Amino acid sequence: QRKNPFSNNDRLASKPAHTHRGDPTYGRPPEGSRTEQRGRDAHSHVGREVEELCLIIRRTGEVGEDGHVRVTFGQLFETYVTISNKVVGILLRARKHGLVHFEGEMLWQGKDDDVVITLL
């Protein structure tokens, strides 16, 4: 459609044909697009869920001798699952940002109920 002289879709005509690796816009939606806005909204939503998870850990956990709050995965799962069914994904995101620490790659309900999660 970009090359079609009879197409009057200005949105297609104004888009660049291709971006390449190394280009700052590579793999990113066009600025000001609804796709870009949805991405920003999703990012802030996940950020709020991570904050809420940390608050729940602080509220339900116990403070250790080093001052860090700890809670077992089983206890956290039972508390948080009523709020969101994405507790493991949110925990992984929180660990990626250095907010929590726990052993293992993934946590599984039942099997990993005794794994300690530390709020950093």
Q: What is the CATH number of domain 34-119?
A: 1.10.10.1540
SS3 of 27, please?
coil
- Can you read off the two tokens belonging to residue 71? 């809670």
Alpha carbon distance 103, 112 (integer Å): 10
pLDDT at 21: 84
Alpha carbon distance 61, 28 (integer Å): 39
Eight-class DSSP state of 58: H
Rounded mean pLDDT for each run of 10 residues along the chain, 120 residues in total: 64 60 84 90 92 94 94 92 82 95 92 95
**On the CB side of 120, how many CA atoms lie within 13 Å of its CA?**
11
pLDDT at 82: 73
Alpha carbon distance 115, 39 (integer Å): 33
Nearest alpha carbon to residue 83 among 116, 117, 115, 60: 60
pLDDT at 24: 84
pLDDT at 8: 65
* Bridge partners (DSSP) listed for residue 118: 70, 101
pLDDT at 23: 84
